[in-house]
Amino acid sequence: MLAVTVAVTTAGSPHFVGDCIKSQSGNTISAVCKEAGLGDEAQINVTLTADASCINPGAHHPKAANKSSVAAGATVPVQNGKANYTLTGTATFQPDCTPPMTVVFSNITVTDTTNGISVDP
C-alpha cells in the first residue's frame, strides 16, 4: 500500500495586537497598527476608512456640503508572521474647513482586506 502525504500550508490566525493608535493633525488622520498570526503570508493589503465633518464653534455640523470620506491603503510586508504599519488619510473639503471650523472624524475603520479582519481604533 502506498501512502501519500500532502503538506498543508495555513495562514495562521490573523489578529490585531492591541488597539490601533489613532491620531489627528488638522484634516489628516493616522492609524498605527500591528497584526500577528499571519503565518507564511508575504504581504497583506490594508485600508483605513473614515468620515470627516467640518464642525462650527457651536459644535454643530453645518447643513452645507462640508462632509468628506477618507480612504487610504497600503500593501504591507509580513515578517515572521507579523506586520507593523501606519495608514494616513487626509480629508478635503469644498469649501475649505478653516478656523474657527474644525475637522471631526467618525466611523474610523482599519481593515486587513487580505484576511477579512477589521478594527475600529
Name the percent of the chain lying above pLDDT 70. 85
Q: Are 21 and 32 in contact (CB under 8 A)?
A: yes
Q: Please write the tens of the pLDDT for every residue from 66-117.
A: 788 999 999 999 999 999 999 999 999 888 888 888 899 999 999 999 999 9
Q: What is the pTM of this model?
A: 0.84
Query: Environment class of residue 78 by beta-carbon count within 10 Å: exposed (0-12), middle (13-18) or buried (19+)?
Result: buried
Q: Please write the tens of the pLDDT for every residue from 22-67.
A: 999 999 999 999 999 999 999 999 999 999 998 888 766 666 567 8
* Domains of the chain, earliest start first: 15-119 (2.60.40)
